[in-house]
Chains A and B, each alone.
Chain A
Amino acid sequence: MRSRILAAGFLAPAIVFFALFSWWPIIQSFIISFQEYSTDSAKASRWIGLENFRQVLVVDSDITAVAWMNVLLFVALGILIGYFVPIVLGIAINEMRHANSFFRIAYYLPAILPMVVVTIMWKYIFTPEEGLLDALFRWVGLQPVGWLINKSTAMLGLVIMATWKGAGATMIIYLAALQGVPAELYEAAELDGASIRQRIRHITIPQLLPIMLVLLILQIIGTFQVFTEPFIMTKGGPARGTYTVLMYIYDKLFREYNYGQATAMGLMLFLVLVILTVIYSLVTRRQEQNR
């Protein structure tokens, strides 16, 4: 009995922290979304049913739709451009017998830099006409792209930067996974006369598939929450071309002080992320069973 009380004492700090800063706010998400929230302690918050959701989805429908579409586009472009880069890098670098450590560190380097640093630096690099990239384009005789001033290229620029920043860390995970591919499989394939391309297709990729699936879902979860990059680089522009869900929440919070509507939008993001995480845990559980 005494030891149980002692154990409870060891757990108490964590429980208090979680209760205050995790469990309670999560519960509050479901409450405040249906309230006209009052920060004044003398005045109670008022229940207003679905009014917050009506405001967000119907009254604000233009902006809300744009924010969600942009995030979906960011997710899609992120997969198209960024998802395969670390896989290719991992497989290639794993084969390198020269400068192997150098490659690992060189590609990991951008991941060490703070996101704010990377974003401001790329903002300068993407500066229309005069920035490094457009200047290089003009120098070799190409048309300057303009990057952040065009709606289509602004999003592309953000995805390129995010890939540049993020690929190295993901590559490290793939490199670790590649260490786990049994050497016997390659030996057997080689004895059977399989070419290197066939070995990649029939051994490496299938062996990596579980971790590829996991990292795909993690990447989607991550990109749904994109904020810092567009907030610093484009302020959501041009013409809301890079405006995201979290930026919408930020605006509701600090421009309109409308906590109920901000929470309602947050709850929608919450539900999307929970669905993705449920898929994630189903995938990982099935992988563990298969093992």
Chain B
Amino acid sequence: MKDERARSLISDIDYRNPSTHLIYWSVFTVLSLGAVTTILPLLWGFFSALKPSYEIFGFPPTFLPRPAARPWQWNWGVYDEVFAGSQFMRYFWNTFLLAVFCWIAAIVPSSLAGYALSKMKTPMPKLLMLLFFMTLMVPFQAYLVPLFLTVRDLPLVHINLVQHFAGYPAIILPAGVSAFNIFLFKSFFDDIPTSLVEAARIDGASEIGILLRVILPLSYAVFAVVSIFSFMGTWNDFLWPLLIINDNNWNTIMLRLYQYDLQGDVAKNKVLAALMISSVPPLLLFALFQRKIMQGIALTGVKF
């Protein structure tokens, strides 16, 4: 990456100047100290999970568990105790299951709509786009209560989505609403030459066939971005599942963490262990798709 860096504020000539050099290394030092404060709390949490409670909240503060010199004596079993013993496994699977369905809901309607708006002759395209993109103006928190009432009694059909499967349908179906995803798909498809699509049409391919066999192979990047953001969104979501899920056995991982922390009889080191375990999937996803995620944020301006 270093080689492709365009010149920026400080040129190579500046850089050789002693006083600039001094400033550069001062900034470097400050940034390093700052980086310590972003990494340290996470490491503190990781190590504190291995301590007894009185050591987590004790004076003087310790970083490594005691005895610091003998790591093999630390309470490593706590991670297994929490994951297997406190059934965190179950909540992992709950959340994975939910994430898969939410992902389907996030991908299918938006990519179909994006394709139609980009490559097909749709009725009233201007009006439709206005109606879709208008919803970007209001985050869902602003109509939280009416949405909450809607999923409990869908208009016309009068179905209560909260009644079955612990309320999961009431989380999955609204995940299909994302003007932002439609916008991403549409603008990505806009860059694919229409001639490709027309050639396929002349060859007698169906529209679904074109979407799957011509467009999709060229659009892995946008599908990846939408998928990663969708998974992270479901995994990290708190407010909406808190309102909807009505069966403790079907809690998502974040709801479980919230309750685990509230239970007075659970030692705080176990809570910290649970926090660390629950952060593994997002961290893993980031490690695998670091470049994609960073590009996605820079490209879309959306943070998850």
Residue ranges of A at the interface with B (Cβ–Cβ < 8 Å)? 3-4, 6-8, 10-11, 13-18, 20-26, 28-29, 32, 37, 39, 41, 89, 91-117, 120-125, 127, 130-132, 135-136, 138-139, 164, 166, 168-170, 172-173, 175-176, 178-179, 181, 183, 186-187, 190, 196, 199-200, 203-204, 214-215, 218, 221, 225, 227-228, 232, 246, 249-250, 253-254, 259, 262-263, 266, 269-270, 273-274, 277-278, 281
User: In the complex, which residue of chain A has the Cβ closest to the Cβ of B35?
Assistant: A106
Contact A120 B143 (CB under 8 A): no
Q: Which residues of B contact A29 (CB under 8 A)?
A: 142-143, 145-146
User: In the complex, which residue of chain B has the Cβ closest to the Cβ of A1?
Assistant: B121
Rounded to whole angstroms, the CA-CA distance of A17 and B59 in the bound complex is 55
Which one, B27, B120, B145, contacts A263 given CB within 8 A? B145
Within the complex, what minimum Cβ distance (angstroms) separates A20 from chain B?
A: 6
Contact A114 B177 (CB under 8 A): no
0 or 1 for each of B1-37: is its CB under 8 Å from A? (1 = yes): 1100011111101110000100110011011101101
Which one, A104, A135, A269, A277, contacts B294 given CB within 8 A? A104
Contact A23 B275 (CB under 8 A): no
Contact A93 B150 (CB under 8 A): no
Q: Which residues of B contact A249 (CB under 8 A)?
A: 144-145
Is B202's CB within 8 Å of the partner chain A? no
- Interface-lining segment among B71-79, B80-88, B216-224, B296-304: B296-304
Q: Which residues of B contact A23 (CB under 8 A)?
A: 131, 135
Within the complex, what minimum Cβ distance (angstroms) separates A291 from chain B?
A: 16
Is B97's CB within 8 Å of the partner chain A? no
Q: Which residues of B contact A101 (CB under 8 A)?
A: 1
Query: Can you pick out 11 interface pairs between chain A and chain B where the beta carbons lie within 8 Å of each other?
Result: A10-B120, A10-B207, A18-B177, A20-B150, A25-B150, A89-B34, A92-B30, A100-B1, A113-B42, A183-B8, A270-B143
Rounded to whole angstroms, the CA-CA distance of A176 and B299 in the bound complex is 8
Contact B174 A139 (CB under 8 A): no
Contact A200 B9 (CB under 8 A): yes
Which one, B20, B138, B275, contacts A26 given CB within 8 A? B138
Contact B143 A28 (CB under 8 A): yes
Rounded to whole angstroms, the CA-CA distance of A170 and B302 in the bound complex is 9
Knowing A172-B297, A270-B142 touch, does A11 contact B128 (C-beta < 8 A)?
yes
Contact A106 B38 (CB under 8 A): yes
Which one, A6, A15, A186, A199, contacts B120 given CB within 8 A? A6
Knowing A266-B145, A273-B142 touch, does A28 contact B39 (C-beta < 8 A)?
no
Q: Which residues of B contact A106 (CB under 8 A)?
A: 35, 38-39
Which one, B158, B173, B268, contacts A41 given CB within 8 A? B158
Among A21, A29, A106, chain B packs the most CB atoms within 10 A around the CB of A21
Rounded to whole angstroms, the CA-CA distance of A113 and B286 in the bound complex is 10
Which one, B9, B145, B290, contacts A259 given CB within 8 A? B145
Q: Which residues of A contact B261 (CB under 8 A)?
A: 120, 123, 232
Given contacts A13-B113, A15-B113, 9 further A-B contacts (CB under 8 A): A10-B112, A10-B120, A92-B31, A109-B38, A113-B283, A123-B261, A125-B44, A190-B13, A277-B138
Which one, A37, A112, A172, contacts B149 given CB within 8 A? A37
Q: How many A-B residue pairs have CB under 8 A?
A: 297
Among A115, A123, A132, chain B packs the most CB atoms within 10 A around the CB of A132
Contact B143 A95 (CB under 8 A): no
0 or 1 for each of B81-124: is its CB under 8 Å from A? (1 = yes): 00000000000000000000000010011101101110011110
Q: Which residues of A contact B177 (CB under 8 A)?
A: 17-18, 21-22
Contact A13 B109 (CB under 8 A): yes
Rounded to whole angstroms, the CA-CA distance of A172 and B299 in the bound complex is 10
Knowing A106-B38, A136-B61, A263-B145 touch, does A173 contact B297 (C-beta < 8 A)?
yes
Rounded to whole angstroms, the CA-CA distance of A165 and B147 in the bound complex is 28
Is B267's CB within 8 Å of the partner chain A? no
Contact B258 A232 (CB under 8 A): yes
Which one, B27, B151, B238, B239, contacts A92 given CB within 8 A? B27
Rounded to whole angstroms, the CA-CA distance of A178 and B30 in the bound complex is 20
Contact A227 B138 (CB under 8 A): no
Contact A114 B176 (CB under 8 A): no
User: In the complex, which residue of chain A has the Cβ closest to the Cβ of B63?
Assistant: A132
Contact B149 A28 (CB under 8 A): yes
Which one, A13, A130, A190, contacts B176 given CB within 8 A? A13
Rounded to whole angstroms, the CA-CA distance of A113 and B276 in the bound complex is 9
Contact B176 A17 (CB under 8 A): yes
Contact B147 A96 (CB under 8 A): no
Rounded to whole angstroms, the CA-CA distance of A29 and B239 in the bound complex is 19
Within the complex, what minimum Cβ distance (angstroms) separates B162 from chain A?
A: 12
Contact A3 B148 (CB under 8 A): no
Contact A113 B11 (CB under 8 A): no
Q: Which residues of A contact B27 (CB under 8 A)?
A: 92, 95-96
Q: Which residues of B contact A169 (CB under 8 A)?
A: 297, 303
Is B272's CB within 8 Å of the partner chain A? yes
Among B15, B42, B145, chain A packs the most CB atoms within 10 A around the CB of B145
Knowing A14-B182, A41-B153, A259-B145 touch, does A115 contact B236 (C-beta < 8 A)?
yes
Among A100, A108, A179, chain B packs the most CB atoms within 10 A around the CB of A108
Contact B275 A270 (CB under 8 A): no
User: In the complex, which residue of chain A has the Cβ closest to the Cβ of B303?
Assistant: A169
Which one, B11, B149, B258, B303, contacts A32 given CB within 8 A? B149
User: In the complex, which residue of chain A has the Cβ closest to the Cβ of B20?
Assistant: A196
Contact B135 A116 (CB under 8 A): no
Rounded to whole angstroms, the CA-CA distance of A94 and B31 in the bound complex is 12
